[in-house]
Amino acid sequence: MDFTNKIILAPMAGVTDYAFRRVCRWLGADLTVSEMISAKAMHYGDKKTATLIYTKDDDAPYGIQIFGHEPEIMADAAYLLSRGLYNPEGKETRDGILTPLPSYIDINMGCPVRKIVSSGDGSALMQSPQLCEKIITACVKKSALPVTVKIRAGWDKENISCVEIAKIAEASGASAIAIHGRTREQMYEPRADWSYIEAVKKAVSIPVIGNGDIFSAKDAIDMMDKTGADSVMIGRGALGNPYIFKEIKCLLEKKTYTPPTISQKLQLAMEQVWTMVEEKGERVGVAEARKHLSWYLKGERDSASTRDRINRCMTLDELSFTLHSYLQNLK
């Protein structure tokens, strides 16, 4: 599995389901990553967790991200997921194996959300280098696929541990490391400090993936130029704008990028919504699609009232009618 020269969709809880990964891939994302999967929930055979690993053959290569703080449980999750053996819902398999298989397993050591870190997971792990080593080593040993690690700069400005954790990850057998240029304390403000990415790149020989504040093609190129990062990972910059992957590819290939019209954007958005409804059912699919449609419309002319109506839609027909009405009123 090659982690160099890639434009990657970052894992985002409640966002990077199959439908969103699919449209990002259509527009040029080289790799995508699942929503966070709780290793402990897997340990107890949680059926809802099983739905988060759902994918199809057109979603490749992609990684599954797991989180937790118990080495044995994390390693068991890596074992099952890397072999297509986690199937509490009893889905149809091929010779007992769920297909398609992911391409790699990613360990979350960077999530800053309170409910994650309060359990000792996510970026809380960056305060415990020895535990990080145990988790990564155990997962690498049990996984049949490459293992990557996603971290932050550190816990807070007094505890910057990214270089130490990156060296541990490399020594423990990780195939690549992604780093977000903020501490846990900073969450998503102020602007990411890419110097941490540069420091990690200089400290290890495995591929380093830069993450944080990439909202345009220029941002992506600047990050790689300034940090030496082997690849870039895009999270919030893709919300409502999966075209960012196409924009980056055009700049890299010295091609002219033509931004989509609002009609093209909303047609793509509805393709995503239809997939969500097909895979999750109308009630869940529509409920989860509302935020995506609001992101697609953010900043568009006269869209405030439409975003408000979208947040009250309960059916696919209501969503379609609302977007159609918006486009008609723009003419």
Cβ partners under 8 Å of residue 27, min gap 6: 242, 243, 244, 245, 246
Cβ partners under 8 Å of residue 99, min gap 6: 57, 84, 93
Other residues' Cβ atoms within 10 Å of the Cβ of residue 271: 14
Six-digit token string for 308: 């408000």
Phi, then psi, of 66 in degrees rounded to 5: -115, 150
Q: Which helix (H) or strand (E) holds 61?
A: none
Are 164 and 138 within 8 A, CB to CB?
A: no
d(CA 5, CA 276) in angstroms, rounded, equals 30
Catalytic, out of 111, 132, 139, 162: 111
The strand pair at 176-183 and 147-156 is best described as: parallel
Are 2 and 216 within 8 A, CB to CB?
A: no
Alpha carbon separation from 237 to 39, 65, 171, 287 (Å, rounded) = 28, 20, 32, 22
Are 159 and 188 within 8 A, CB to CB?
A: no
Phi, then psi, of 148 in degrees rounded to 5: -120, 165
- Can 250 be counted among the known catalytic residues? no
d(CA 109, CA 148) in angstroms, rounded, equals 10
d(CA 303, CA 219) in angstroms, rounded, equals 27
**Residues annotated as catalytic (active site), given as ranges:** 111
